[in-house]
Structure 1
């Protein structure tokens, strides 16, 4: 079998410095490619922080996507909104460039890390909650995302939350829509009809999609996290939604508690209905009993989703007053301090685990990479990330 060719990034040379009124940025390496753009990792030369540099290809047909992206990034910006943060825009040799905060991994990356196995209950519930909060922010402003899919949902390690990106086909509920929306595999039935009408230049034959189209996509994404495959692969029919959902949920019944699966099935039926009017709004979905459960993240989650807190496991034996605990704690914290600024630390004697909170998730990632597996006083350091909300509540496991 021939290997797929490695994509060659072409729009920006590595090492290029981009100068703008809002800063100076160095292009490091390509990290993603889309239909109309390439995305590079970059560095803020003044702040020393990493950024995402999104460059649009030089073609008139991509101007609409660029203008929509810019408009919605600015109009939807708000403190605490679970959307990618826009830093600024500039041009270089006729190319339009957007500078944004650097996020990752994508939800697609997370699903791949599970190697075709269902995600943990914590990940499914957390992703669903964050996704719905993002949609609530959009829908309250009359905006439809229009292209929800795993590659467009990214993890923000500093805030430990999933965020939405890519507003190139987004639209408002009040505007006159003229372009196709949503990607195959996550496309609501009404969007299939609409996109066909756009292709045939016959918009009068179809009804414009609304916010319910995003709810369909969200339901498909949640189901995919449960079964780790697309619920409705591109080209498949979705005529028997309850039957398809029941079959999918039943296929993973050994991985989840029965009550959890039952509530999840009911939740998904509230999202995935053939008729848009039968789907619930995001506010109602956020109040669903299934989302009120609070499972803990799995060991796998704590290895693959970076945060600003690192947990060193079994640093000491569980004991109310473990010998040499103070010395061992200070030594490991000192090692961590060489990787980046430490904001706080705590040794939980009943577990023997040490928790270290860094100033940024990137420094925490560096510390975990450098220190995990290192021999230490007759032990080997074993480290994972740790949820910041548990750290803030002083709840340790």
Structure 2
């Protein structure tokens, strides 16, 4: 844990069971997982801002990990969590991790996010066959590629990536997903994300992009604005007249939205409350237009 810089706050033993005492590690408290974000996003997918943020954070973590010779080996939505304190995504659960070249774990990666070479190795291990394909850090890039494709599409892709069609031509399926995904803002160059995912999901692990190479993708040079994402979401419930985020104290996460009429505003309040945006749960409050224009809410909450 020291080698991969995981902070350990403490160790304690759980109550005894038939298997004896369990040793528990006290780690950092994190918030919502990508799995929960996908559940909240339904079939719409996550915003490009969140997808870009997650991709960059996880790739930076993998580049750090791989540079030190370690493979995570179980990258999936449930193992990527948001840290509200540091405003970034973090990797958890290193239970299947191994040192590259010294793999002591037989069965690696979760079904649906398992790289082809890991699938082959697991099958050989199950059959009692020694040797076979050696898994490298490239398996982590495959898993992340599937996670990001799910974040973009809003669909679980387990059955898709296990199909014969995927094995025959995964590139065509990725093209189809991007072509069929309706993007409100056509100016968003989604093809940069598409090309990044193709480089991470190549069948041959030696041809797959490394974490360091993936971070050089043009996708990360696009300045996605979270305000645009908020406006896009709010516009689903009525015509938005104005929207602003207080710059004097942005850390509180306040956003003020003015709708064309009170009915739309109240509908948005009901629909948005309880949702998740940027890793945070939304609590929406309705205020009359007169109070909004006076800045009453803004002044009393800062």
Please confirm whether the aligned pair reaches a TM-score higher than 0.5, indicating the same fold. Answer: yes
Higher strand share: 1
Deviations 1:187-243 (A, max 9, x none): 100010011112122122x21200011011111111111101133437434311111
Q: What secondary structure does 1:75 align onto?
A: coil
Residue of structure 1 in register with 2:41 after alignment? 114
Q: Aligned ranges for residues 247-396 of structure 1 at < 5 Å?
A: 247-255=176-184, 257=186, 260-297=189-226, 298-299=229-230, 308-313=251-256, 372-373=284-285, 379=291
1:151 and 2:63 equivalent? no
Residue of structure 1 in register with 2:155 after alignment? 229
For 2:8, which of 65, 82, 86 is the aligned residue?
A: 86
Higher RCO (CA 8 Å, separation ≥ 6 residues): 2
Residue of structure 1 in register with 2:242 after alignment? none
Q: Which runs of 5+ in 2 are unaligned?
A: 235-249, 259-279
Is the 2:98–2:105 contact (alpha carbons within 8 Å) kept by the matching residues of 1? no
The alpha-carbon distance between structure 1 residues 192 and 125, as it changes in their structure 2 partners (threshold 3 A), is same
Residue of structure 2 in register with 1:194 after alignment? 121
CA RMSD after TM alignment: 2.8
Give me the whole-angstrom Cα distance separating, in 1, the residues matched to 2:192 and 2:143: 19
Is the 2:96–2:105 contact (alpha carbons within 8 Å) kept by the matching residues of 1? no
1:218 and 2:144 equivalent? yes
Give me the whole-angstrom Cα distance separating, in 2, the residues matched to 1:88 and 1:272: 38
For 1:95, which of 9, 12, 22 is the aligned residue?
A: 22
Deviations 1:267-323 (A, max 9, x none): 1111100000110111111011111111112228999xxx942225269xxxxxxxx
Higher helix share: 2
Deviations 1:137-187 (A, max 9, x none): 110110000000000000000111000000000111031434211111111
Q: Once the 2 structures are TM-superposed, how far is the Cα of residue 253 of structure 1 from its aligned partner?
A: 4.1
For 2:172, which of 236, 240, 243 is the aligned residue?
A: 243
Bigger radius of gyration: 1
Give me the whole-angstrom Cα distance separating, in 2, the residues matched to 1:300 and 1:100: 36
Residue of structure 2 in register with 1:207 after alignment? 133
Q: What secondary structure does 1:101 align onto?
A: coil
Q: Which runs of 5+ in 1 are unaligned?
A: 1-72, 78-83, 316-364, 384-397
Extract structure 1 runs of 4+ deviating beyond 4 A.
300-303, 374-378, 380-383
